[in-house]
Structure 1
Amino acid sequence: MRKRINFWWSMVPLTSMIVSMLCCVAIFDGAPHIPLMIGTVTAGLVAWKFGYKWHEIEEMMYKGIKLALPAIIIIMLVGLTIGAWIGGGIVATMVYYGLKIISPTIFLITIVVICSLVTLAIGSSWATMGTIGVAAMGIGLSMGIPAAMIAGAVISGSYFGDKMSPLSDTTNLASGLTHTDLFDHIKHMCYTTIPGLAIALIAFGFLGKGFGNTSIDAASISQTLTDLQQHFVISPFLFFIPAAVIALVAMKVPAAPALVIGIILGYLSQLFVQGGSISDALEALKSGYALNGANELVNELFNRGGLDSMMDTVSMTIIAMTFGGILEFSGMLKAMMDQLLKMVRSTGSLITTTIGSCVLTNASCSEQYISIVVPARMFSKIYTEKGLHSKNLSRSLEDGGTLTSVFFPWNTCGVYIYATLGVSAFSYAPYAILNYTVPLIGIFLAYTGFSIVKITQEEKQKMISLHEQSTDEETVI
């Protein structure tokens, strides 16, 4: 007979995973796969101890993997995109003109702004990081800027746009689950997200001063430009390909079909613009582009991409979601959340607990969407009972869920960033400035009461009716 899993037993799998992760990754510089498997096995044993049968535990893992399938598809398509765009000369063209136009002093600020605008237009931080972000890494590294700083700028800009775009899936998810008008939700997020962006821009402006023109090796950049022209046909017309993908997503074409079109265009560019063979173009899609020039920096920048390069990421995502699936569907995650709810005494502590629960879910279930869905279910009724407008909850879900997913190497977002930008979460974390300042601003505003919106008694009764209706629908399902 199954028994309810209490808080302390629920913490055992999470603790075992975190401890083994710290030992494996931080001390022995290993991969996160094995610690995640240790966490999964531990979670399965705890579920078994409380009466769950093997077939039920297996079904929990399958449900977890199913939640990550859309992300897995995008991850594989991005691998193909990078291979096709490097082979087709698109990335080389972006790096070439970036080196000629952008000053190293304002490079980090420029990248934050560009990534913000692109993601606002298309609503996908992943698409921005997989295209603009890859080129930004090449430009910045050629200027001598540390990879972790560049990645932090790309992430800060991309997640600002993702959070504030009406086309973003997480933005629509947070507003929909809390019964909040989409544009009311976006306006309310301005109180935390715009100050966070301002802080990030100031910080990157300060960091950029250390990379003034006097500290740049002009001869090295000149040699890089020469090598790019030697190995690739550089043409501004190649900007049409990323522009086409961005335009398609902006027109609400789903990310996967838009990326497929970008892959096809990149493949054709390698054949007809770069003059490559069919076999080389196919190899770039499967195994990544291969460049063996005299410039080691250029080799490092362009020897990447392809489907094979994403398989390590895919396997980690699958393992992470088996772990998250057991925690979610066995009730262990709910037990953790219930314990957090005991800390609620005031509006400030409620919002802080909401943000903390989103962070905990990102750490334990390894999936950004779950970090929004589960706390939304847990806290929605409490906000109404306390007379708080639902947009306070929707904003907190995004502050804590959408943004903090990047800080965990085993979360699908952290995994994706490492596979795309080549920088680990532990390295870029200090420079993902927007992602940790916004939750802190949200907590600060909660305790000051500024921007916290109350509801009338009539609105409260209406929201209670919505909660009861949702509960009835879940019961039917």
Structure 2
Amino acid sequence: MDKKPLFEHKTKKEFNFFLAITPLLVMIASMLYAIVVLETDPHLPLIIGTITAALVAVFSGFKWEDIEEMMYKGIRLALPAVVILMIVGLIIGSWISGGVVASMIYYGLMVISPQYFLVTICIICAIVSLAIGSSWSTMATIGVAGMGIGISMEINAAMIAGAVISGSYFGDKMSPLSDTTNLAAGLTNTDLFEHIRHMMYTTIPGLVVALAAYLIIGLNVIGNSTASPEDIQAMMSGMSENFVISPWLLIVPALVIVFIILKVKAVPALIAGVVLGVICTIFIQGETLADAASILMNGYVLESGNEMVDTLFNRGGLMDMMYTIALTIAALTFAGILEYSGMLRSIMHQILKIAKGTFGIITATILSCFTTNVTCSEQYISIVVPSRMYLRAYIDNKLHSKNLSRSLEDGGTLTSVFVPWNTCGVFIYGTLGVVAWDYAPFAILNFTVPVIAIILAATGFGITRISAEERDAYIAKHYPEENKTAEA
């Protein structure tokens, strides 16, 4: 039988709001100073925030053993993300050395026009992510190739990443196969497909806005790019001189996508991609087994003489992901103390006190989801914690639970990409090579949808209400302990 956490009995008490928010303020202040002034990495500010949170917890009566357990629980939340990050490092290395990435870029350059590239890559990522239900898997496959194609066309990397993210998160959010979609529906007792249909009110307009913006950028900014056909031809020649280019190599990413469509879990599907990449490395590109093993560990190294080609392909491998993994662990250590000590719950309670009416509750939900993404650094927590905090408030105000499930995704799933130390922001940096503050202005779907959601809350359009009888029936079904108390 598992041992009950040491701190379980203490987390029910309410923290003083100003005491609870102190670690968050210290972390944000040190983060801004470190990044803006010192131009250094975000790891140390997260550690400073963790130390501050631990001191606040000690001051509030927790023992060091309690705090250690909170940190360990936070780290355990990061383990699935860490495993996937490690596999993505392997898959990038093996697909580069196997010529898979080079082939995807080569043929992409042949068929995609620079002016329409952002629109095209966004739509492709949306379709693939909708089919497989995973933004991460889409970015790790289609996104990596898209970055290579776009950079070869001399398109700004932040713009490319933004379009990839917008498309990937549209599909992830709207797919019945998505884990976050199922999580939001399940936590709010909402039918899955009713939840998806309700999200169309915010997500479809958000995609339309994003595609229109990418089209305008493509025609007015990229259309005036200095990239010439000669530059693109030089890039293609550089790739063909250093890799065996073949359309048959495109079968590798296609198979990985098929595996996931067939509901093979992400980890075994991506591992299959690594194995296929290694096979291509040895039997098609002519590398030795020792070379393949070295690439999996340390990444691919190319000295072609073409700076653009070298920049594109000198990456990947397990060690390439260690920076990202360290950032993930530091972030979730900080998050563990905030979540399991009860500090985050105290912050949420204060927000709920001032949230009145439909507009106030929905806006508070979205802001709370974003706050949780900042403080707890994990997309799933940004759905789980606010769902627990706000569900009863929605029902008491005669708002259908699908309004909450939609708000959780609008505010939680989508905004996770804007936090550099969130597992999603960390994954994107490790996979696409662009930091959150660079791609944020171009991840148009991700910031447009929350704004649309707040506008709908203000106007009442797209908001589903329930009757007093339906409210009472919901409470009787999902809060039976209240009936027992009333009878007693």
Residues of 2 paired with 1:402 and 1:33: CA distance?
23
How far 1:275 moved relative to its partner? 0.9
Match of 1:154 in 2: 164
Match of 2:239 in 1: 228
Structure 2: runs of 5 or more not aligned: 1-8, 484-488
> Are 2:118 and 1:96 aligned?
no
Match of 1:442 in 2: 453
Residues of 1 paired with 2:402 and 2:76: CA distance?
29
Match of 1:27 in 2: 37
Match of 2:300 in 1: 289
Match of 2:4 in 1: none
> Are 2:53 and 1:43 aligned?
yes
How far 1:471 moved relative to its partner? 9.7
> Are 2:212 and 1:199 aligned?
no
> Are 2:258 and 1:247 aligned?
yes
> Are 2:368 and 1:357 aligned?
yes
How far 1:217 moved relative to its partner? 1.6
Aligned counterpart for 2:420 among listed residues 409, 415, 437? 409
Is the 1:104–1:213 Cα contact (8 Å) retained in structure 2? Answer: no
Name the Cα RMSD after superposition: 1.4
- Which residues of 2 match residues 22-421 of structure 1 at below 5 A? 22-209=32-219, 210-212=221-223, 215-421=226-432
Q: What is the TM-score normalised by the length of structure 2? A: 0.95
How far 1:456 moved relative to its partner? 2.5
Q: Letter of the 1:102 partner, please give it.
A: I
Per-residue CA shift, 1:258-296, capped at 9, x if unaligned? 000000000000001111111111111111111111101
Per-residue CA shift, 1:227-254, capped at 9, x if unaligned? 1110111111111110111011111111
Structure 1: runs of 5 or more not aligned: 473-477
How far 1:28 moved relative to its partner? 1.7
How far 1:216 moved relative to its partner? 2.5
Is the 1:115–1:132 Cα contact (8 Å) retained in structure 2? Answer: yes
Residues of 2 paired with 1:457 and 1:212: CA distance?
57
Query: Which 4+ stretches in 1 moved above 4 angstroms?
Result: 469-472
Q: Letter of the 2:196 partner, please give it.
A: I
Is the 2:357–2:397 Cα contact (8 Å) retained in structure 1? Answer: no
How far 1:342 moved relative to its partner? 1.3
Residues of 1 paired with 2:377 and 2:421: CA distance?
6
How far 1:455 moved relative to its partner? 1.2
How far 1:462 moved relative to its partner? 2.9
Q: Letter of the 1:351 partner, please give it.
A: I
Per-residue CA shift, 1:273-326, capped at 9, x if unaligned? 111111111111111111111101100100000000111111111110010000
Q: What is the TM-score normalised by the length of structure 1? A: 0.97
The number of residue pairs the alignment matches comes to 472
Is the 2:96–2:313 Cα contact (8 Å) retained in structure 1? Answer: yes
Is the 2:154–2:225 Cα contact (8 Å) retained in structure 1? Answer: no
Residues of 2 paired with 1:197 and 1:50: CA distance?
46
Is the 2:382–2:412 Cα contact (8 Å) retained in structure 1? Answer: yes
Residues of 1 paired with 2:209 and 2:194: CA distance?
24
Is the 2:184–2:408 Cα contact (8 Å) retained in structure 1? Answer: yes
Residues of 1 paired with 2:14 and 2:295: CA distance?
51
Secondary structure at the counterpart of residue 342 of structure 1: helix
Given the superposition, is the C-alpha separation of residues 470 and 93 from structure 1 closer, same or farther in structure 2, using an over 3 Å criterion? farther
Residues of 2 paired with 1:214 and 1:190: CA distance?
35
- Return 270-279 or 433-442, whichever deviates more: 270-279
How far 1:461 moved relative to its partner? 2.3
Aligned counterpart for 1:426 among listed residues 415, 432, 437? 437
Match of 2:5 in 1: none
Residues of 2 paired with 1:341 and 1:305: CA distance?
45
Residues of 2 paired with 1:98 and 1:332: CA distance?
49
Match of 1:475 in 2: none
